[in-house]
Amino acid sequence: MRSQAFSMIEMIGVLAVIAILAALLIPKVFDTITSAKINNTAQNISTVKTAVVNHYSKYGQFAMLFGTNGQALASLTNYDLLLLQEGLLDKPFEAKIGTNAVVQVVATTGTTNIPAGTGAAYWLSGQGGGQNECDAGTLVVEAVVYGASIMDAIELNKRIDGDALGTSDPSLPDLKGRVQFAAPASVGAPVNVYIYMANK
């Protein structure tokens, strides 16, 4: 009577097939997780941008809470909490790709070709001198994602601005379009990503 057990060669063959399948599938699983994080962040940015536009259309400025708190602004951090109080957002802004994220209002210097986080203007057209550039003193609502990986920053830029207004080189800054970031301080170092939403 013949034994029903697997031979050593059969076991090695099965393990080899499992190892090959795992090697093919595991990178795809991680790519899918990363893509989902970037898509979630882009969707959250779109949601906040809609709330910003709705708020501005009601009150004619960014700072008015229910039309009563019209303080002069040089900057306002956690602007998403104001939108939350007004019922324009369901939850505070969050980004799945960094360590922390905020929505803020800042006055720009009007300077281009330096990252937006230094108070520079957003070079929205990528051409300079275009109709949608931000002059000095313009109030800009922006999302800031702190501590994002450079590859996540590049992928977020591709989702929002497309390849034409970005970089695919992880050693270079992105200084054009709605998504901007400085070059990483060293290989693999995180970056802060600035995302334009609206200006006045």
Taking the domains of the chain in order of start, what are their residue ranges?
A: 8-199
State mean pLDDT over 39-56. Answer: 92
pLDDT recorded at residue 130? 47
State mean pLDDT over 84-103. Answer: 90
pLDDT recorded at residue 105? 85
Question: Is 51 or 175 the better-scoring residue by pLDDT?
Answer: 51
- 11-23: b or e for each residue (b if 16 or more CB lie within 10 Å)? eeeeeeeeeeeee
pLDDT recorded at residue 91? 92
Answer whether residue 134 shows pLDDT above 50.
yes
Q: Are 74 and 107 in contact (CB under 8 A)?
A: yes
pLDDT recorded at residue 66? 65
Stretch among 7-21, 130-144, 181-195 having the lowest mean pLDDT: 130-144
